Structure 1
């Protein structure tokens, strides 16, 4: 009689699947909680102990690791010597394996998880059976995902057996599953022991969404998310309305929420092509949006807007009057949501901002490799640690404005220049090949809106020449914040003193490539 071994932690659909197998004359081997669940549903089973003649022991750690199990999985049906050995040792072939693993991910996701709990939820027998069966997919059908039950039963009912192509596809899925399972264990224990540069980088991600295309229409793309949810991330955002997210939507939204988390006060951020085009803060979100919009009312068109406070009716009405790709906020009033959803295609999303300040590592792919770094979060990078480089001391208003501008310039593509007052950006120069070019772009934008008076300048890196300082001074800038550290710092300081500019040194650079 054909045999199936069933041992699952996730019992979704398992009773109906086992009943279908039994109806096809397949004998069920099972153990533990799975055996009880099947028998309670009237499905006849054989215990693993009855097959092996060896008792389960060591709190269940040893039960399926036995030649009578693995011989039945690994024995090749096309090799007479294998079949002879199986007959000699009373090994009965096992043609179906249905196994999913101890809930390691769910265990380590708990806030109060102990190392001991985590270790006990590392499955050994399960992956071993899956790998044995998957290696022998020429003869064995192996299933680890309940979503595949219907396909297997359909083939059994249609032809009396699964196809080679199905067995091969299921085997590939098994090895992806066990690889991901082991990668998660490796990540967890690597963090436990504090290893920061492991000789092997083991990452695993779960499919979240198939995208229509990538950056451009001829590119394919897929969105994957970390298996343990990162609360403050675009992967954890919930879409309430609108078209599916695109590759560029996801990238831009990620950039926007990174900026929005910089602020404790109500803030609104508008992003276009991975760069902020406007940022505003205020006592309430409606006024913060007004300042964000006024910063660049042209570039916001077709952009992404993120608010770090619940969205109200007044703000929703303003947002509804323009074309936007995404609006994202912690929540929406019922009336605000009704206004925004009048437009069919706009993507309305929510995100929990309570974990916004958490950091972590980030990864960037390059041809043939991967770069890893910690996120650009530096709790020591605050105005109280800055140094005044020039003769003139900054005013209180200038300090507030420089603090605001400095929080934003770190999120602008290098070379980056941000002009701002204490409440909003007024000019942004991004991604230029030389720094003075970014200064000119930012100043031109500020002057076009008559907003340069009283504005300060933030630079993501030091000034290699004094030309940027001089150009800024000639256009009315009176306060500059920059990392310092150039061999020509002295030249920039002298130029700032010449024009009566106060210039502060942060000793922290914020390149963003």
Structure 2
């Protein structure tokens, strides 16, 4: 592989993010490199006392149309695209007075950040960069001669390269920078196209682009033989991607996946109504509860499945306080995620050096639209996120017996949780807490039986004389295709049922519920989660 060096004589700098710009520019000047710049970047350099040539002095044209037109000119693109070893290119440069541009430094208009802060349509449009991507693509195409920097984190590497090679760059660095440059413009265009699709209400555009920014490279994926990395898309949604990690070792692939599942689940519970805690293991809730305090909610969630909670993720809908923190750290926990935390709580968690504490600054809105994605061989599936909320659904009683007010409250609670359990999902709940969860089974009746067994085991662990499922309600994420799953719940002690309905055998299931003395309500909404 060639290690051919290219001397840098002129650099064009045009950056929206000026972090580190001045020190970097000084480093370039120290190597005898002439600077060309545009607009605000040129002013920043000039204000720092650095010699810099305005882009209009290169093109012979002033910036115009509110800065929309300034670098789209042959004097710029010729300087980037000309192959230095090509005699015809060299002749064209000479004939037209085009000087070579050997280093291009561009950070694009902050389109993603503008969308993320909820700016108007017109403001978002004005933050679509045109000249920047055009220059980046031109310089990156000609990386045999030109180095392209699109990220300020690469300033140090470029200066080190120049220092090591007497003002020149090596082809290996230029190739790495070119790859990053094209990835950046691809992610940028993806953000724009997806935003436009959203504004149009287009759910299936003919082309769907994906883009993200590397948050961190992970040690491995779900298993040690799988490579993995975590990318942020810049979406406006509080959660693991936007959280601040206060302490603990690096999050793993499974940690991130499970923590996201936990926080999305607990966000279903309005913090102004009650404190709520969700304990998650392998992306499934093993205990969810509301309470007057986080401590009470945690104790009630833990009771549902104390065995599975070991090594789990704990998510809270209110700021972590000292009382809850002291109890949570008593058992091995991988991650705690909350909107905020008190100083006392932070100090208590700090005693467990490997325990990760993530603070998000808020809760995600369960009603907000969004996309979920899954890869398949040769493609990927895209769907709108499940933003149906049981509080917005009209619950229709279809049995002779109406649910009591307490049963109705528990039915809503159980259906909130069932939305976050892998299908087939069955959730037993009582007094605002799960008492048994059956997840991911091939038949619904198996999920019902597993959840009942879990409830009985939890009661034995708590020293109680009867199963926690006795007197509970049960939620099913999808309809009962046969009455057997419903009857299994009745045998476990459930007194009321919530399910979407819609089966060919709904009448048989309703008749079985009536015969067992159950109250049953239908939501009309299914919550499959595979």
Q: CA deviation at 1:260?
A: 0.6
Q: Deviations over 1:416-445 (max 9, x none)?
A: 111111221111111111111111111122
Call closer, same or farther: CA 1:475–1:206 in 2, change over 3 Å: same
Q: Confirm whether residue 52 of structure 1 aligns to residue 71 of structure 2.
A: no
Q: Confirm whether residue 338 of structure 1 aligns to residue 355 of structure 2.
A: no
* Secondary structure of the structure 1 residue equivalent to 2:333: coil
Call closer, same or farther: CA 1:212–1:48 in 2, change over 3 Å: same
Q: Equivalents in 1 of 2:297, 2:321: separation in Å?
A: 12
Q: Confirm whether residue 199 of structure 1 aligns to residue 209 of structure 2.
A: no
Q: Confirm whether residue 138 of structure 1 aligns to residue 144 of structure 2.
A: yes
Call closer, same or farther: CA 1:489–1:140 in 2, change over 3 Å: same
Paired residue for 1:460, among 474, 477, 488?
477
Call closer, same or farther: CA 1:146–1:329 in 2, change over 3 Å: closer
Paired residue for 2:495, among 457, 462, 478?
478
Paired residue for 2:372, among 362, 375, 391?
362
Q: CA deviation at 1:116?
A: 2.6
Alignment gaps of 5+ in structure 2 = 1-7, 460-465
Q: Deviations over 1:34-92 (max 9, x none)?
A: 22322333322333222222333222222222222222221111111111222222222
Call closer, same or farther: CA 1:150–1:395 in 2, change over 3 Å: closer
Q: Deviations over 1:146-167 (max 9, x none)?
A: 2222322222232231111111
Q: Confirm whether residue 124 of structure 1 aligns to residue 130 of structure 2.
A: yes
Paired residue for 2:445, among 436, 439, 446?
436
* Secondary structure of the structure 1 residue equivalent to 2:529: coil
Q: Equivalents in 1 of 2:140, 2:85: separation in Å?
A: 16
The correspondence of residues 240-389 of structure 1 with structure 2, limited to 5 A, is: 240-264=246-270, 265-359=274-368, 360-379=370-389, 381-382=390-391, 385-389=394-398
Alignment gaps of 5+ in structure 1 = none
The normalised TM-score by structure 2 is 0.91
Aligned counterpart, 1:512: 529
Call closer, same or farther: CA 1:121–1:384 in 2, change over 3 Å: closer
* Secondary structure of the structure 2 residue equivalent to 1:336: helix
Q: Which moved more, 1:323-332 or 1:102-111?
A: 102-111
Q: Deviations over 1:196-225 (max 9, x none)?
A: 221111221111121111111111111111
Q: Equivalents in 2 of 1:140, 1:226: separation in Å?
A: 29
Call closer, same or farther: CA 1:410–1:57 in 2, change over 3 Å: closer
* Secondary structure of the structure 2 residue equivalent to 1:390: coil
Answer whether contact 1:383 1:399 (CA < 8 A) is retained. no
Q: Equivalents in 2 of 1:244, 1:308: separation in Å?
A: 23
* Secondary structure of the structure 2 residue equivalent to 1:322: coil
Q: CA deviation at 1:355?
A: 4.2
* Secondary structure of the structure 2 residue equivalent to 1:162: strand
Q: Deviations over 1:401-424 (max 9, x none)?
A: 212111111211111111111221
Answer whether contact 2:249 2:354 (CA < 8 A) is retained. yes
Q: Confirm whether residue 31 of structure 1 aligns to residue 41 of structure 2.
A: no
Q: Equivalents in 2 of 1:431, 1:142: separation in Å?
A: 49
Q: CA deviation at 1:357?
A: 3.4
Q: CA deviation at 1:358?
A: 4.6
Answer whether contact 1:419 1:427 (CA < 8 A) is retained. yes
Q: Equivalents in 2 of 1:39, 1:477: separation in Å?
A: 75
Q: CA deviation at 1:399?
A: 1.4
Q: Equivalents in 1 of 2:28, 2:493: separation in Å?
A: 81
The correspondence of residues 408-423 of structure 1 with structure 2, limited to 5 A, is: 408-423=417-432
Q: CA deviation at 1:320?
A: 2.0
Q: Equivalents in 2 of 1:384, 1:365: separation in Å?
A: 31
Aligned counterpart, 1:216: 223
Paired residue for 1:183, among 174, 177, 190?
190
Aligned counterpart, 2:462: none
Aligned residues: 510
